[in-house]
Every structure is written in structure tokens, then in C-alpha cells.
Structure 1
Amino acid sequence: MTLVHGQLLVLTASVFVGLAFTRLRPVMLFSAVGLALVLLGQLEVERLLQLAANPAVISLLLLILVSAGMEKTRLLSWLSLKLFRGGYLATLARTSIGAMVSSAFLNNTAVVAALMGRIRSHRDQPPSRLLLPLSYAAILGGTLTLVGTSTNLIVNSFLVELGQPPLALFDFLPVGLVACGVGFVVLLLVSPTLPIHSVEEETPDSYFIDAKIEPNSPLIGRSVEANGLRSLERLYLAEVVRGEQLISPVTPQTELQAGDKLVFCGDVRAVGLLERFKGLTLFAHSSGELQRNLTEVVVSPTSTVIGQTLKSSDFRARFGAAVVAMRRRGQVLSGKLGQIPLQAGDLLVLSCADPKGLTAQARHFVVVGDAELSPNLSLWQELMTVAGFVTALGLSAAGMLDLAASLGLLLLVMLSFGVLNASEVRSRFPFEIWMIITGALAMADSLAQSGLATLASNWLHQLFNGEGVWVAYVGVFFISLLLTELMTNNAAAALALPLALGLASAFGVSALPFVMAVAYGASASFISPFSYQTHLMVMSLGNYRKRDFVKMGLPLSLAYSASVLWAIPYVFPF
């Protein structure tokens, strides 16, 4: 083993440890890998730029931008209206099938975002019995086509870069139908065992509400009990933040001082009770308009405010809204509201003059409150958008036009006819995904060019040789599955695919079964709530705990794994 091999092993191990065991964002890790490879002289800058302009990567970026236009149509809203009728199992079946079909062609996050608000407001069925199955159904539907999930497009980008024939739009369909069929049955059998949480049901520490005692407040110098702050209906004074000191628990005799931050927990709808106390200012106080325009949103996994606090992100000025309260499933929030780093899936209650203005912030928030965000496209714009999307995919499926070219043309049409504008394209451009894929391609390219991937594959070939190619194939699948549960689906595919291609070469068999094992293994994000972005979106909204994901995700993962491992070799023989 050479010095170059040692450097690459350290980089690969660092990425794995960083993704699996730290809170470092994948974009930071993969960007650092790309830069490190250039600085170490293992990758030329020109080569890095070539990898960034990989046709399959460009297709993925264009698909995400085009999906932003599709999200503005009434297609998903119309679908959601057709789903929620009848009994629980009928509603679950329609929701699951609708999510699967939609996710085969549209962005999974957009599909879940469009349906979860309807589920939350649907009073006939408990939301907690539908939201998690919705997330699973969206994942399963993404396995049906090349454009169904970014994982499939990333796998395709690796193949293109290695000189392999690119995958077609419906190459994934036969195996995907098997996976969806088996997964659908498991959803119908296991979903009724999920806990029932009504929309009103909240834990005592559900919402985190911050208020400050002003210098002229009559509350100063008096105890909590004397001020009447111990007997508030549906609100509980959990702690007092005094400078750098945190007072918790708060006793009835605790004397209040000017500048104290009072942290209340409970029902955000009772926040108006705090306005009766003179000199007590809420974090989101805005000229008496606090209760008139309260809107509940979920922080999207694609938001750039993740990891930032409300203060450091300049939240109020940036989004024209103030945060009244925050809730995070499975974690008790503490300290000052403005100093808590935001995470994907956080529930925020916003006070804003125009709730419909939040529709322009789809990259950052998913609205789940009562505000109805109507589409702003005319009928002919919607028809043109849907027809253009179907045509673009049809031309690609028929081999008449490259996918990147057809999507690029559709994006130009959308811009020309006002479906999207330049600022929307800038705000929705998936820069982080681009950096992650480019860094992953750079790492895979260096592993291949240095011969390290071949060495690893030969070693695994010797290890598996006595058992045959099937053991290697199954091993690649479960390596991909384990990686996706520990980190993310895209990172799992990026790390596992070079190994899979090397093993196929070492055994002298077709690479496609191994490639598909990586694609389907990396899409098996069922057990960990942190393994897929739609899980984070429904976790707080459905009041789920980690054990709920294990209870439902484990049987789904086992059934899914067995079905795709059986189906792949029949569709893509060794």
C-alpha cells in the first residue's frame, strides 16, 4: 500500500465518521474532500470541474428546479382532495398509492409536503396513523423510476462517469413494482399498530415559548406565585434565564428581576394569556397582531437556516415573520428561544402579516397550519407545465432526447411563460446536493484511479470467493442499507458504488445487479428517523418517537430487502 492509498483511506474514514457520528453537514464534508484531493495533488482542478458537469448530475439539478414549477400546480392539491374519504384502511391505501405514484416522477419532499398538511387537518382519521406511512410510501415510490429519487440519479451519474451505458427512465420499474407491492402490504398490516395522537394532544413540554420582563414591569421584585404565573391554563413556567444563569425548576417563591427571560411550555394557542401581564414581552411580539396570523410550519431539510439560531439567521427580517413558539419531537428545549440552533423537522409557530407570503419560502418551510396557500398559476400555465413535464419525460423514455436536454428545455419554457422566475430558480437551486455529489464523484474517481478500489475489491473477492457471487451481491446491498441508516441515502450510494463496481469486475460478471443492489439498498431508509428528510418532516408533526420508526420500519426493511434481493437478479442477470 502506497502513501496515496493511505491518504485516501484516511479521507474515506473521515467522511464515514463525520457522517455517521457527528452533526457536520454532508455538504461540508464532501466539499472538504474535493478540496483536499486537489490540494494533495490526487485530482486536477479540470477533472473536478468535469465531474461537477457530469450529464447525470446536471439532469438531477434540472429535475429539482423543474419540480419547483410542478409544485405550483394544483396537481398534488387535487390528489390530496381525492384521498381522504372512507374508513381508515381505505384512506391509508389511497394515500400510500397516491404518494407512490407521485413520488415516481416528482420530488419526494414536495409530495410529502403537499399531503402532510391535508392529513394534519383531516379530522376523521388520526394523523399519527397516516403521516409515517406517507413518508415510507414516498420512499418506495421513488424506486420506480430513474427520476424518482436523487439516489437513482446519483448512481446513474457514477455509471456515466465510468463510461458505462446510462440507465433509462423505466429501468428501475420492474424491481420497483415488486418493492412497492410488498411494501404496500406491510404498510396495510403494520400501520394500524401505530399510536393514536390527536392534533390537540401535546406533551407538557410540547411548545417552547419565550417572554422577557421589561425594565418597567410591575412583575419585578415579586415572586412567581404572587404574579400569578404558576396558575396559567395550558401554560407552564419551566425555567427562568437570568444572564448566564438558568433557574430550573422554578419555585413559587422565585423572585423575578428586570431582563429575566421566562420560558413557558405548553399549548401555543394559550399564548394570548401572557399578553395580559404588563411589561412581559413575547419574543415574537409585533404590535398586537400576535394572535391574528399564527401559522404553523415545519423546517424543511433543504433550508439554509438549519444549524443557525433565530438571532444569527436574522429570521424576522429575512422571512418577514417572527417565531412565537418552537417544538422539537423527543427533545426538551432549554435556554433562550433566539439562541437555539434550528434543526430539520422543527415545528415553528410564526406570526406574520401575510401567511400566504410563506409560499415563496418552500425551500425553507412546509406550511401545516390552517393557512391555505393557493396556487398563483393560471389554468393555461398549469396545463402547459404538466404537459411539458410529461412530454420531457416521454421524450427521454423514448430515447428521442437526452434527459438533461429535455429538462433544460422545459425549464426555459417555464421561465419564458412566468411559471418560474429568476429569483425562484436562485432560491431553489440545490447547491448543497451539487457539492455533495461532486465531492462523492471526486472521491470515487480518486479511489479508482489510485487502484485502491481494485485492491479492496480483490480482497473482498478472495473473502467471498468460496461462497460465490451471490454472497458478494447480498453483502453490497446490506452495506448500502447500513450506510443509509447511519448517514444519508446519497452519501451511502456514493460510498458503496465504487466497491460494488470493483466486485463485479473481480467476479467477471455484469455490473448491473451490483449497481441496482446499491441503488435499492441506499433507498432503504426505513428504521432511523434521521436517515431520510421526509422522516424528519413528519416526526414532530405526528408526535412520533424513535421506537415508532423501529416498530414500523424494521418489518418494512426486512420485507423490502428480501423482495428486491430476489427480484434484481431476475431482471438484471449476473
Structure 2
Amino acid sequence: MTVQIALVLTIAAVATYLFISEKLRMDIVALLVLLALALTGLVTPSEALSGFSNEATITVAAMFILAAAIENTGALSAIARLLGKSRSPTVFLLVLFGLLGLIAPFVSNTAVVAVFIPIVISASMHIGMSPTKALIPLSYVSQMTGVWTLIGTSTNLIVNSVAKDLGHRGFTMFEFLPLGLICWLAGCLYLLTLGRWLLPSQGQSDLPAAQESGHYVTELTVAEDSACLDQTLEQADIGRKYKAYVLQLWRGSERMWAPKAQQLQQGDVLLVRGRWSQLEKLKEDLGLQYHRRPAAQRGGGQDKPQDETEREKELMVEVMVAPNSPLLGRSIQALDRRLPRHQAILGIQRRGQIIRDHLDGVRLAVGDILLVLMRESDVGRLRSTNAIIVLSERTAPLPRDWRATFALAVMALVVVSAALGWTSIAISALAGAVALVLTRCVDVDNLYDAIDGRILLLMACLLPLGTAVSSSGAAQFIVDHTVGLASGWGPHVVLAVLYLMALVLGELMSNAAAAVLLTPIAISTARLVDADPTPFLIAVTFSASTSFLTPVGYQTNTMVYSAGGYRFSDFVKVGGPLNLVFWLAGVVFIPVFWPF
């Protein structure tokens, strides 16, 4: 082992640990990797910065804009309304799988799932099927179909880019489609049979209504005319009557110990947990008020009082903190400042944890669901940011005009021009993004909110790692001591071992990071068995782009995990066999379409 190999392996090992442990954000880890590679001389300065001008990075940035335009114009929602016409759970799932096959290969998985979550919840309950039977399949099939095309996921583009840098020819737009269709058919058949049986009938939150997906924590203030004034919490009997639980009691800035024994006074703030319908009943019966932050602390400045007409237009909206949201780790006030005037965050729901502090002190995490009181006309503004996902179906309808058709036409033209070789995918996607911005399918003011900067930084910083792993000899060293041990059994066995290795690594860390690390290993593996590298690169692409085993293995899994009230074990039970199905399909059919 040379010094260079030791340095690369050390950097890769530390990065893998940080990715798995989540001690630092993914983009920060990627930046540290880039700096370590440059400072140790493993890559030249030009190689270190090459990821920022890489075709894959430019393409992903443009595809974010294209996806935002399709979502903002209502094009996806119009197509998804077909789900409401289903008459049985089986037909419902078949229509869902078909729609995802039409949309997900060309639009970001995250955008597709964000649009479909509230529609799936509402439509499935309309036909008498538990939403938990559909939300995990929604995530899984969006991943299955996202691997059909080169632009379906950022992981596909990363593998293609690193492979081309290492001398491979690269992949065409629809080169993954034959294997993708086989895996999709096998996966859909599994989800309609054994997977459907393994899925829970109800989530942990029971999902009693589409707009009430679990227990919220909210703050209620004792008003001067409250019915519970001068009573203790035991006398008010809140727990028995309303199935709600007072977690804390504040009097001014002082937290009161033994809150059940305290006589309630005007201005006391109760931190209460329960189902929203019961919290509403509690508020009305006892004459309590929602505790709102002073207007000076919010982004809109001093709010003007609303008249009765304005109040009538307010509604409750459920929003979920998205994966890679810029709000992660920040206080709830960071979201509060992003909301329009007169809006208020009333409650928060967090999986696996009961919040016991003032809402203002809560640090937001992926999957947190917040209940926001806001005007119906302002709901559309929330869709234009990648910070949150609107879950509630009781939202303002998206405008339906020529822009929806135009956005779909532009996306189709981007795909066709790249597939026919008229221009590169980066230029095609960039031209499409500019066209959609000029026609205001994407609001210029919200343009940069549509682009997930963390993903771009992650890609740009990690791409040089692929170069270092290959040029230092680390890839060959890893191959010799892992998959190389099976080289005597032939290329088919080596392919199976490499696919399994990629599958495990992709579940443990970022898909992008796994793709960057494994692409040079795939090429070195091909050299070891004297075979074409293409089948091994295909195995890395499919394994890194499909993560079914855990709710944190892929962004869409995290989204439905929170929205559906699942347990961690639900993903293990349903996703484990599905991973096995994909592994077997890959080992059998990859050599058929891409011979060794």
C-alpha cells in the first residue's frame, strides 16, 4: 500500500463515518473531503474545482428549475387527479404505478413524491384503503422509475460523469430503460402481492383523517375569560376529557414545576400535546387562545389587523420540513419569518420524540410536520421553496393555464433533443430552464429556492474523490481485497458481489457519495476480470439509485416515513425483500443487455 492509497482510503473512511453518523451535514462533509484531497496533493487545483463546472452538476441545477416549473404550474397535479377515479385498491395502485412511470423518469423524485403525498392520502381514504398501503409504494416506485433515464436521478448523472472522466464512453438517455422496466415490473408485482400484505394497515399515527396525521404539540394561552381560570389542570380534567396532555406550563418566562397543581392565571402558556381535533375542542370549550409570537419577530414586520373577510379566507395547512431543507437545525422562527403576513405556526409533530420546550426554541429536523394558519391565497407561495413540502390537501388550487402545457412541452423537448443527440443534456436542460424562467413558469424571485444548493455542493465536492480513488490506485487496492477474492468464480459472481456491496453502502450513506466511491471500483473490477466495465457500472447505478431498506436511505423514504406514520421496521420488512428482488434481477439481466 502506497502513501497515496493510504491517504485516499483514510479520507474515504472518515467521510463514510461522517455520512453514516450524521455528525455533520452532508454538504459540509463533502466540502471537507474536497479540501483534504486538495491539501494533500491527491488532486490538482483544477481537478479539485472541476466538479463545479462538471456537466452533471450543471444538468442537475437546470433539472431542479424544470421540476419546479412543472410543479408550480400544476402540471403534475392535473395528471395525478386520475388517482381519484380509481374504484378499488388494486386499480388505485396500478394507476399510481403507471403515473409514476410517466413522470418520475424525467422529474425529480422529491418533487414528484411531494406533489403526490397529499393526493395519495386523500384518494386512498376515499376508496376505503389505508394511506399506509400506498405511501411506501409511492416512494419505492418513484425510485424504480427514476432509474429509467439518465436524468431520472442525480445518482445516474454522477455515475455517468465519473465514468466518462475515467475513460468510459458514458450512457445514452434511455440506456437504462430495458433493465429498468424489468425491475419495475418485478417490483410492482411484489408490492401488489407480498409487499401489500407486509405493509401495515394503519400507521403509528392511525391517520384518522387526511388532514390530521398524528399528535401535535401546540401552545395555548389562558385568556381573561377562559373557563379554566383559577382552576388547576387536575380540576379542568383535560387528560380524560380531551385525550390531551399538558407537557409544560409557563408563567411569563418562568417554567412552573408540578403544573398539575398550579391554579391557572391569565397569560399562562400551556404546552399541550394531542390530536388536532381534540386540541381544537379543548381550545373552544375552555376559551383558550393560540399563543402567537409578537409580529416584530416575524418576517412581515408589524402586521395590520385583519377584517372579518380576511379571517374567513384562513385555513389550516400541514407542511413538512423537506430533506436537505435550509431550515434544518434552525429554530422554528426561521420558518416563521419565511411565511407571509398574518400567518402563524400553531403546532408541530415530530416522529419518535415528544417536544417539551417552547416552540420558538425547537430546532427543526427532517420530517417535522407543522400546522400553519394562513390565507388560502398564500398557500401557493409555499410550493415555490424547497424548504418545506405542503401536505394538506385543503390548499388553494394551482392555476391552470397555458403554462402547465408549456412546461410539459419544454421538458419533453429537453429529453428528446438530448436523446437524439442534437445537443448535450447539460445544454438542453439549461436552455429549457431559461425558457421556463422567461415565460414565468418559475417565479424569478423564487428561482434560487427551487435549486437545492446542498445537492449541487455535494456533487461538486465529491466528484474529485472519484478521480483520486482511481488515479491513486486505491480503487484497484479495494477491488483486490474485496470483490477480487471472488474473481475465480467468474464475472457473474463478481457482479453479484459488487452489486451487493453497492447496495449496502448506498443504504448506509449518501447515494451520491456511494456512487462516487463505487464507480472507479466498478471500472477496476472490470479490469480485474478482463471484462467490459459497462455491466459493472450499471450495477452501481441501479444499486445506488434504489434504497428500500431504511427510511433514511433515500429522501423520498424519509418523506413518506413522516407523512404516513410508519415505524422504522416497516421499511425493513417491505424493503428488504424488494432489495433482494432488484439484486436478483440485476445479476440475471445485466449480462443479458450488457455482455461482459
- TM-score, shorter chain, exceeding 0.5: yes
Aligned equivalent of 1:540:
562
Aligned equivalent of 2:497:
475
Aligned equivalent of 1:13:
13
- Given that 1:204 and 1:266 are in contact with CA atoms closer than 8 Å, whether structure 2 keeps it comes out as no
Query: Equivalent residue of 1:319, what SS?
Result: coil
Aligned residue identity for 2:105? A
Question: How many angstroms does 1:217 deviate by?
Answer: 9.3
In the alignment, does 2:76 pair up with 1:54? Answer: no
Query: Equivalent residue of 2:218, what SS?
Result: strand
**Unpaired segments of 5 or more residues in structure 2?**
296-304
**1:28-59 deviations in Å (ceiling 9; x for gaps):** 11111112222333333322222221112222
Aligned equivalent of 1:120:
121
- Given that 1:284 and 1:351 are in contact with CA atoms closer than 8 Å, whether structure 2 keeps it comes out as no
**1:501-520 deviations in Å (ceiling 9; x for gaps):** 22112222111111011111
Aligned equivalent of 1:318:
338
- The one of 406, 411, 420 equivalent to 1:398 is 420
**Unpaired segments of 5 or more residues in structure 1?**
none
- Given that 1:355 and 1:371 are in contact with CA atoms closer than 8 Å, whether structure 2 keeps it comes out as no
- Given that 2:386 and 2:452 are in contact with CA atoms closer than 8 Å, whether structure 1 keeps it comes out as no
Question: How many angstroms does 1:276 deviate by?
Answer: 6.5
Question: How many angstroms does 1:463 deviate by?
Answer: 2.0
Aligned residue identity for 2:141? A
In the alignment, does 2:237 pair up with 1:236? Answer: no
What aligned pairs does 1:322-333 form with structure 2 within 5 A after superposition?
322-333=344-355
**1:520-558 deviations in Å (ceiling 9; x for gaps):** 111231110111111121122212111221221122111
Count of residues in Structure 1 that have an aligned counterpart in Structure 2:
569
- Given that 1:194 and 1:548 are in contact with CA atoms closer than 8 Å, whether structure 2 keeps it comes out as yes
Q: CA, structure 1 residues 425+299, in 2 after alignment: closer, same or farther (shift >3 Å)?
A: same
Query: Equivalent residue of 1:351, what SS?
Result: strand
- Given that 1:206 and 1:327 are in contact with CA atoms closer than 8 Å, whether structure 2 keeps it comes out as yes
- The RMSD of aligned alpha carbons is 2.9
- Given that 2:330 and 2:363 are in contact with CA atoms closer than 8 Å, whether structure 1 keeps it comes out as yes
In the alignment, does 2:232 pair up with 1:223? Answer: yes
Q: CA, structure 1 residues 316+290, in 2 after alignment: closer, same or farther (shift >3 Å)?
A: farther
Could you tell me the TM-score, scaled by structure 1's length?
Answer: 0.91
Aligned equivalent of 2:574:
552
Q: CA, structure 1 residues 259+479, in 2 after alignment: closer, same or farther (shift >3 Å)?
A: farther
Aligned equivalent of 2:161:
157
What aligned pairs does 1:146-545 form with structure 2 within 5 A after superposition?
146-189=150-193, 190-197=195-202, 199-200=207-208, 206-211=215-220, 223-226=232-235, 229-230=238-239, 232-240=241-249, 252-254=260-262, 261-272=269-280, 273-274=282-283, 282-283=291-292, 292-311=314-333, 313=334, 315-320=335-340, 321-353=343-375, 354-376=377-399, 378-379=401-402, 381-460=403-482, 462-545=484-567
Q: CA, structure 1 residues 471+410, in 2 after alignment: closer, same or farther (shift >3 Å)?
A: same
Q: CA, structure 1 residues 19+214, in 2 after alignment: closer, same or farther (shift >3 Å)?
A: farther
Q: CA, structure 1 residues 540+204, in 2 after alignment: closer, same or farther (shift >3 Å)?
A: closer
- Given that 2:514 and 2:544 are in contact with CA atoms closer than 8 Å, whether structure 1 keeps it comes out as yes
- Given that 1:330 and 1:545 are in contact with CA atoms closer than 8 Å, whether structure 2 keeps it comes out as no
Alpha-carbon distance between aligned partners in 1 of 2:391 and 2:442, rounded to the nearest angstrom: 23
Alpha-carbon distance between aligned partners in 1 of 2:207 and 2:505, rounded to the nearest angstrom: 34
Alpha-carbon distance between aligned partners in 2 of 1:461 and 1:534, rounded to the nearest angstrom: 30
- Given that 2:48 and 2:464 are in contact with CA atoms closer than 8 Å, whether structure 1 keeps it comes out as yes
Query: Equivalent residue of 2:132, what SS?
Result: helix
- Given that 1:241 and 1:335 are in contact with CA atoms closer than 8 Å, whether structure 2 keeps it comes out as no
Aligned residue identity for 1:223? T
Aligned equivalent of 2:298:
none
Aligned residue identity for 1:32? L
- Given that 2:248 and 2:270 are in contact with CA atoms closer than 8 Å, whether structure 1 keeps it comes out as yes
Query: Equivalent residue of 2:261, what SS?
Result: coil
Deviates more, 1:545-554 or 1:180-189: 545-554
Q: CA, structure 1 residues 115+451, in 2 after alignment: closer, same or farther (shift >3 Å)?
A: same
**1:204-248 deviations in Å (ceiling 9; x for gaps):** 97211123569999978753224554455242223446869685x
Amino-acid identity (%): 27
Question: How many angstroms does 1:457 deviate by?
Answer: 2.7
Alpha-carbon distance between aligned partners in 2 of 1:566 and 1:303, rounded to the nearest angstrom: 39
Query: Equivalent residue of 1:225, what SS?
Result: helix
Alpha-carbon distance between aligned partners in 2 of 1:347 and 1:128, rounded to the nearest angstrom: 17
Could you tell me the TM-score, scaled by structure 2's length?
Answer: 0.88
Deviates more, 1:150-159 or 1:316-325: 316-325
